[in-house]
Every structure is written in C-alpha cells, then in structure tokens.
Amino acid sequence: MTVAVDLGTTHAGNPAELDLEELLSTRLLVQGNSGSGKSHLLRRLLERSAGWVQQAIIDPEGDFVTLADRFGHVVVDANRTPNDLARIANRIRQHRASVVLTLEGLDADVQMQCAAAFLNGLFDADRAHWFPMLIAVDEAHLFAPAMAGEHSDEARRASLGAMTNLMCRGRKRGLAGVIATQRLAKLAKNVAAEASNFLMGRTFLDIDMQRAADLIGIDRRGAERFRDLETGSFIALGPALFRRPTPIRIGSVETSARSGRPVLMPMPDIAPDDLADLVLTPSEEERAAEARPVRRSLIRPEPAAGAPARPAAACDMPRVETSELLSRVAHSAPANDPAPADDEDDRSPAERAEAVDRIFADMLDDPEAAFRPVPVLYQEFLTHCRLKRLRGAETDMGAFRRRLSLARAGVSGDETDGEWADVVARSAELPEEMQGVFMMLARAARDEAECPPDEDLAMAYGSHSPSRGRFLLSFMEERGLIAVEKDFRGNRIVSINATGWRTRLPEVTLDTLDEARMRRAARLARKA
C-alpha cells in the first residue's frame, strides 16, 4: 500500500509528496541552520502521517507536546528511572501508541541518557511487536555528537550507541529514523550516512554546505544555493521523495509549537524607579521558593507562638537530668520492696499509655537520644517508669525496642488499614533495630514522598554515618522487602514489595540544574 504524505509544493507549483512506505525502509535526514524551518517540517510530516503510522518523537525542548491535543499522542515525561523508560517503551510498541518523549528542563547529560534508555527499550521489544514506527529525533546532534565535548563519556556512548542502532539496525525491527540537525558537522557520520532521503535547508557555513552538497550529489558551485533558501524551503532528494534534487516549500501545519519564532513587541511603559523596584525586590513566589522545608527530626518541635501548650496532667513532671534521677533511685526504697501490683493501680489503661507516651516524648527531646545505645536508653526509660509507678507490658524490653525504632523513624503505631498491616507483618522479618527504618521508608512510599536521604535513614537506625543508611537499603533489598532504582541523577526510588507503594523523584528545579552543571564543571576540571 502506497501512502503519499503531502509536504507542500515544489517551486514549480506541483505537489511535493513523500512515499511513507518507502520512508520506513530508507530513513530521512533533515538539515538546516536555526530558524530554517526544520521543526516546522517535522511537524508537517508527523501531522500528515499520524493516521497511517505509529510515531515516537524525541523532543528536547517540549515543542511537540501540542500534538497530543490534536492527534492523541501520549506525552511521556522523561524524568524517570532507566527501567521505567524501558518498560514504557515496551508497552508503547505492544499497544502501538504514538508518543512524545519530552526532555524539557533536564540537563544535557540526563537528556542523552533518557533518550538512550527509551530508544533501547523500543529497539529491544519482543519480535511480535515489531510494528512499523516513525522515530523523529529533533536536534539529533545533541544525541549523536560527532566528537566528545562537555558531556560525560558514559552519556555520550549510551546515546550514540542507541542512535546508531536506530539508523543502522532499526529497519528490521520496524523502526524508521527521521532525524533533524542544525549542522551536519556536529552529527556523527555513522548516523548521518545511514539516511537515504534528504531535506536540506538554509545553511551558511562552508563546511556544512559542502557536506550537504556531497550528500545530495551537487557540485561545489551548486552548494551556494543553500545560502539563498528561504525559511521553510528545502532541497529534497531520495527514493521516498525525488530522484533529482528538487526545491520544495513546506506547507502549513495544524498545531503550533509552544515556543514559536520571536516577535517584536513594545517595551513596557513603566517608570524607571518602579521598574528597578520590580527587578530588585523578590516576589512572593520567590520568597516561598527560598523557604526550605525542615527535615523531620527526633526533637519534638516547640509549640508555635499563640498555640496552646501541651496539656498537663497530674502525673506529668518537669524534665529531670539523668544524674538526678539516679540519685533519687539510690535513696529510694530497696529494689526488693513490694511494689504496687498492676491491679492496684487506680489509673485506667488510657492514662497509663499516656504516661508512657510522655516518658518517650521527654526522652526523645534530647537531640543525642537518636545516637545513644538502646540499653542505656532502656535503663533511663525504666527509671522514669519507676518514678511514675509503671510496671508490666509497657516496660518490656521488646516493646521498648519496637516503640523506639518507630519513634526514631517518625512513625506512629496506630495504623490499622490492611496494607499497612502487611507492611508491619513484613517488618517482623528484620532485626528490631531495622524495623523502624523500614516503616519510615513505607510511610514515605505510601505518601508518595521523596525517599529519605542517607542521613535520615542512619539517624532512624541510631547512627551518625550516612553509609549506614545505604547499607540498610541494600540489606532490605537483598531480603526482598524493597526494590531500589536510581534515575540519571542518582536520586533513589524505593518500592515496597508487599504493597507496591513507591517514593517519588524530586522535582526538577533551577537549583537542581545548577547543581548538575557545577558537578559537570568540576568533573571536567578534574579531567583537565
């Protein structure tokens, strides 16, 4: 079946058509300086072929996401782990969905690794799902650079390998590459050489004009015509286009990019003093963004100004130093004196539980309590319980350990839903001192919060060392309680295997991009 995609008209006024079936076998390369109309050409091609063939667009600037509203493309945010992107790519081929992989806002190295993971996922799909598919890559020189630059070697190798597979070996798997680049000199030769169809737009540099002329078979004098091409005009050649180099003009499109051509507009009519005030004074949004969230710690926060104080009770007592407590114990009755039995205690179970809660709260008010050995804390706890005439199950060593681990992790013990009960049951497979850390991870995953950092995990365990937090994660993963994945920046996603809960990735902000650029600059400086 032959499908002719209408790209526009030739300079003679005849239709400029592209044979879609032939394109699937021979691939396409689009070249032109910035502003020559490459993205417009890709959009025209994708719009006119959307009803005939499955499509995937690698979109570094997020310009093609507008295809989703008009043609039903699924927009895939690339801020995911490599395994997530590979699984999504597999499902895309299985269900024949057209997608836009948007890389907007990601660092250059991360963009390359995301594109590589996604393309490899498409390439490695099961043979039963090798349906015909157009893979459009805008700004292809970013993903298949001709030479090493400021990018890491690992990212460059992964991205270049995926692009080479797409252009060299993709045909047998139904993948047809359509790549667009600003300069042929920036694009890896092995990638460019696999295309048999060419659309060459306006070009000014001699080296790019010469390479374009060599690809479409015109002499050096004829290469000068690339300088004279207007925006949206291209020289077309290839088995899916024309047998001889033919100038064409690309037609109109139905959708528009979010970032179009620059348009001049009047300057704002604002007094200089008012304008200076707007520039130099931070806005309310900036003040809110600068406010850093406070990490949950073991120190109970003081009540805010005007907030009601913690209600006092008859059995409440002021904070007493440990040395004073030990002194009181030394001068109290002998240990073998008969103590009041539980049934002689006139307090209700709720009152006794409230007293134990206060003891824990008072003990954990001390910042160093997070790092003191459990036996020492238990002895202090027993001393407090003796002074409050508490005995029985509340003072059991095992119950104390479990409650302490939960308190260190910032998790309450009053969860009752079915899934949380499964988490509590699985936590019993761990040593008691690790159970609170597991519950801390489970709470973050259920709330779809970010994974706690190594320092918080170590603190919940009772250690100062961040490496202890990493060890705890690997220990739990080896026993099948959790699954740990990392994105391209090293951020963790932790999944709780018993429930399927997952933590989320941190938001991509200007601060994270600046940190990534600083790390890359430091890496390049070390190499130099």
Domains in the chain, please, with CATH? 4-250 (3.40.50.300), 315-331+342-395 (no CATH), 414-528 (1.10.10.10)
pLDDT of residue 393: 52
Q: Where residue 144 falls among pLDDT bands split at 50, 70, 90?
A: very high
End-to-end CA, the chain: 56
> Under a CB-based contact definition with an 8 Å cutoff, are residues 355 and 312 in contact?
no
pLDDT of residue 342: 45
Joined together, the tokens standing for residue 182 give 């600003």
Per residue in 158-205, pLDDT tens? 999 999 999 999 999 999 999 999 888 889 988 988 899 999 999 888
Burial class (CB in 10 A: 0-12, 13-18, 19+), 467: exposed
Pick left, alpha or beta for residue 186 (phi over 0 → left; psi -120 to 50 → alpha; otherwise beta).
alpha
Whether 341 has a pLDDT exceeding 70, the answer reads no
Host H or E run for residue 175:
strand 175-181
Q: What's the chain's average pLDDT?
A: 80
pLDDT of residue 518: 66
pLDDT of residue 20: 93
pLDDT of residue 183: 87
Mean pLDDT of 291-319: 46
Q: Among 145-154, 280-289, 413-422, name the one with the lowest average pLDDT.
A: 413-422
Which single residue is written with the structure tokens 């005030």? 277
pTM, two decimals, is 0.66
Whether 469 has a pLDDT exceeding 50, the answer reads yes
pLDDT of residue 337: 44
Per residue in 13-68, pLDDT tens? 899 999 999 999 999 999 998 888 899 999 999 999 999 999 999 999 888 999 99
Distance, in Å, from the CA atom of 245 to the CA atom of 176, rounded to the nearest integer, reads 22
Per residue in 83-95, pLDDT tens? 899 999 999 999 9
Distance, in Å, from the CA atom of 492 to the CA atom of 81, rounded to the nearest integer, reads 9
> Under a CB-based contact definition with an 8 Å cutoff, are residues 7 and 48 in contact?
yes
Burial class (CB in 10 A: 0-12, 13-18, 19+), 390: buried
Whether 251 has a pLDDT exceeding 90, the answer reads yes
| β pairing state of 28-31 and 197-200 | parallel
Q: Where residue 373 falls among pLDDT bands split at 50, 70, 90?
A: low
Whether 385 has a pLDDT exceeding 90, the answer reads no
Reference 339, options 376, 382, 304, 296; nearest CA is 382
Distance, in Å, from the CA atom of 420 to the CA atom of 8, rounded to the nearest integer, reads 60
Mean pLDDT of 352-371: 72
pLDDT of residue 193: 86
Reference 133, options 269, 25, 278, 259; nearest CA is 25
Give Rg (Cα) of the chain.
33
Rounded percentage of the chain residues whose pLDDT exceeds 70: 77
